[in-house]
Amino acid sequence: MRVLGVDPGLEKTGWGIIEVDGNRLSFVAAGTVITKRTDAGALRLKEIFDGLTAIVQHYQPHAAAVEEVFVNNNARSSLKLGQARGMALLVPALHGLDVAEYSATTIKKAVVGTGKAEKTQVSHMVKILLPRAILQTADTADALAVAICHAHTLQSSITRTKAALR
C-alpha cells in the first residue's frame, strides 16, 4: 500500500510517499510545494492545490494522512495555516482517498517513541526507518513522519482486527 503524508504550510507544504508491505516501509518520494510570500493568498492556495494534485496523480497513493494544526497565539497565522491544511485535506479526498489526521504529539510518539521529541530526533528516526529517504527540508522529514505514523496506525488496526477474528 502506498501512503501520502502531508505537513501543511502556506509557504512550504511538505509531502512524502512511502510504500507499506506488512511491517516493511520503503521510501518512494518526498518534496515540498513552495509558494511565494508576495503572491496573493488565493494564488498560494491554488499552488498548493495544484502541487498536491500533481503528486497524487503521479504517485497514486492508496491512503493519505495530514498533520493537524496546532493553535498558536497569532490568529492570523493560524488561519493561514488552516487554509493550507484545507488544501492538504481536500486534494486526496477529491481523489477518493481516506484522509487521516494526526496531532504532532501522536506523530512524534509513533516515529520516535515520545510525544515530546525534537524535530532533529524525528528527522533522525525517519532516516533510520527509511534509509533511502532524501530529506531535502524539515518539511519533507515531517511529511514522511506523518506517513510513517499512518502506516503504523493502519498496521495496528489490521493486527487488532485479526486478533478479534480468532
Q: Among all residues, which ones are annotated catalytic?
A: 7, 67, 139
Q: CA-to-CA distance for 136 and 17, rounded, in angstroms?
A: 14
> How many Cβ atoms are within 10 Å of 77's Cβ, its own excluded?
12
Residues 86/88/90/94 CA torsion (nearest 10 deg): 170
Q: CA-to-CA distance for 143 and 159, rounded, in angstroms?
A: 25
Question: 124-160 burial, b for 16+ CB within 10 Å, e for fewer?
Answer: bbbbebbeebebebbbbbbbbbbbbbbbbebeeeeee
Instruction: Locate 72 and state its grid cell.
Output: 498558536
Q: CA-to-CA distance for 157 and 151, rounded, in angstroms?
A: 10
